[in-house]
């Protein structure tokens, strides 16, 4: 354990693992902050089922955030420390209900603190519903990286990017039929092509996020076991198809039009997974003044080290003026 993390764990006024009931399920969260009066940032990770980089195994690891803000990490039900089999009875609403419960519980514990959400990719769905729901009155703002809007995966921009890539000609010839059948299996295959043959996920010019350091930190966490670490990567979502089907059909335009709090979307300029072009166009055309947009240069859907630092600095600049 490095010195800065050890110092944070020993000296922060808030550094704990706590159990709450969210959506009817007992679940653990971590609360991590230097002072009890700092604004609170609830992290809503991506996936579904991918609690990186801000997992519950990372308490004390991000003083660049927690020296200024209190970071609440929640390994969503089905992964990490809250591993659980996510069968096809689960719907997006189950997770929006859990998010609403989490917001209410944190506000109940810290009624005087400002409260923000940070949603990443899948987490942007949970954040959007929260920001347009009755829970919005408990929030002071929302930050997003990789906003989901509509027409995920099966759209002209993805098809054009793949056809103009170095993907083998045999695969390109099969792309039309692949894109016309909107199945979960086809979506997974197209996503693998995006990852392999484009910069839609990861920008090649950007230094990648320090995944090794993060995984080692999770391995030496006071909160995680090796089983929890494994469940951050291979978890209860492996056999689920209901959530992927909903993701392929989701349309959040009306939800975002009804966002009731300041809502800053930070999108990578190479992102075609949650299209930066579509998001920028939507924000420019909306009449909802709560929505704003920043384009992050040299970044795909998965932010690298520089992009992550930029996103963190924007959050702190806004939340701690």
- The answer to whether position 98 is within a domain reads yes
| Residue 199 included in any domain | no
- Has residue 159 been placed in a domain? no
d(CA 253, CA 257): 6
Q: Which of 17, 29, 12, 39 is nearest to 4 (CA)?
A: 12
Report the pLDDT value the prediction gives residue 208, as an integer from 0 to 100. Answer: 80
Within a domain: residue 185? no
pLDDT recorded at residue 126 = 98
Q: Is 72 domain-assigned? A: yes
Q: What confidence score (pLDDT) does residue 171 get?
A: 94
Provide the token pair at 124: 């942007």
pLDDT in the model for residue 321: 81
158: helix, strand or coil: helix
Q: How sure is the predictor about 21, in pLDDT bands with cuts at 50, 70 and 90?
A: very high
How large is the average pLDDT for residues 232-241?
94
Per-residue pLDDT of 282-307, as tens digits, reads 999 999 999 999 999 999 999 899 99
Q: Are 23 and 77 in contact (CB under 8 A)?
A: yes
pLDDT digits (tens, 9 = 90+) for 58-88: 999 999 999 999 999 999 999 999 999 999 9
Residue numbers of the domain that contains 57:
3-151+207-319
Our count of domains for the chain comes to 1
Provide the CATH number for the domain around residue 34: 3.40.50.1820
Q: What is the CA radius of gyration of the chain?
A: 19
pLDDT-derived band at 230 (thresholds 50, 70, 90) equals very high
**pLDDT score for 14:** 97
Q: Percentage of the chain with pLDDT > 90?
A: 92
Confidence of residue 22 (pLDDT cuts 50, 70, 90): very high
Q: Is 180 a domain residue?
A: no
- DSSP character for 23? T
Q: What is the mean pLDDT of residues 125-137?
A: 98
pTM, to two decimals: 0.96
CA-to-CA distance for 61 and 39, rounded, in angstroms? 18
> How wide is the angle at C-alpha 84 spanned by C-alphas 192 and 239, nearest 5°?
35
Does the pLDDT value for residue 101 go beyond 80?
yes
Which has the minimum average pLDDT: 92-96, 135-139, 203-207?
203-207
128 pLDDT tier (thresholds 50, 70, 90)? very high
Q: Residue 138: inside a domain, yes or no?
A: yes
Average predicted confidence (pLDDT) for the chain: 95
Q: In sequence order, which residues have a C-beta less than 8 Å from that of residue 194 and are 6 or more positions away?
A: 158, 161, 162, 200, 201, 272, 273
Is the model's pLDDT at 129 over the cut of 90? yes
Residue 106 has pLDDT above 90, yes or no: yes
Whole-number pLDDT of residue 175: 92
Is 302 a member of any domain? yes
Identify the band that residue 4 occupies on the pLDDT scale cut at 50, 70 and 90: confident
Whether 210 shows a pLDDT value over 90: the answer reads no
How many CA atoms lie within 13 Å of 206's alpha carbon, on the beta-carbon side? 26
Task: Give yes or no for residue 310 having a pLDDT over 80.
Answer: yes
């Amino acid at each position: 354990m490095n010195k800065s993390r050890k110092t944070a764990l020993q000296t922060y006024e808030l550094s704990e693992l706590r159990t709450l009931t969210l959506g009817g399920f007992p679940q653990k969260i971590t609360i991590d902050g230097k002072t009890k009066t700092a604004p609170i940032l609830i992290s809503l990770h991506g996936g579904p089922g991918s609690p990186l980089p801000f997992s519950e195994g990372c308490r004390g690891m991000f003083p660049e955030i927690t020296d200024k803000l209190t970071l609440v990490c929640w390994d969503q039900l089905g992964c990490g420390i809250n591993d659980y089999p996510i069968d096809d009875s689960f719907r997006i609403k189950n997770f929006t209900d859990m998010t609403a419960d989490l917001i209410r519980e944190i506000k109940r514990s810290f009624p005087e603190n400002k409260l923000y959400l940070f949603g990443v990719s899948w987490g942007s769905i949970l954040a959007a519903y929260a920001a347009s729901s009755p829970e919005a009155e408990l929030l002071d703002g929302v930050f997003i990286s990789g906003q989901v809007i509509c027409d995920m995966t099966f759209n002209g921009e993805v098809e054009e990017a793949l056809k103009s890539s170095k993907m083998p000609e045999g695969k390109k010839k099969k792309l039309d039929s692949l894109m016309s059948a909107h199945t979960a299996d086809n979506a997974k295959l197209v996503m693998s092509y995006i990852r392999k043959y484009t910069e839609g996920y990861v920008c090649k010019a950007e230094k990648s996020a320090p995944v090794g350091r993060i995984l080692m930190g999770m391995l030496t966490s006071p909160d995680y076991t090796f089983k929890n670490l494994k469940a951050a990567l291979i978890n209860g979502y492996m056999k689920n198809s209901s959530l992927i089907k909903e993701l392929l059909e989701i349309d959040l335009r009306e939800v975002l039009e009804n966002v009731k709090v300041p809502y800053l979307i930070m999108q990578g300029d190479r992102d075609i997974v949650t299209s930066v072009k579509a998001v920028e166009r939507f924000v420019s055309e909306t009449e909802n003044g709560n929505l704003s947009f920043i384009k992050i240069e040299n970044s795909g859907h998965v932010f690298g080290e520089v992009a992550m630092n930029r996103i963190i600095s924007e959050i702190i600049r806004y939340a701690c003026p």
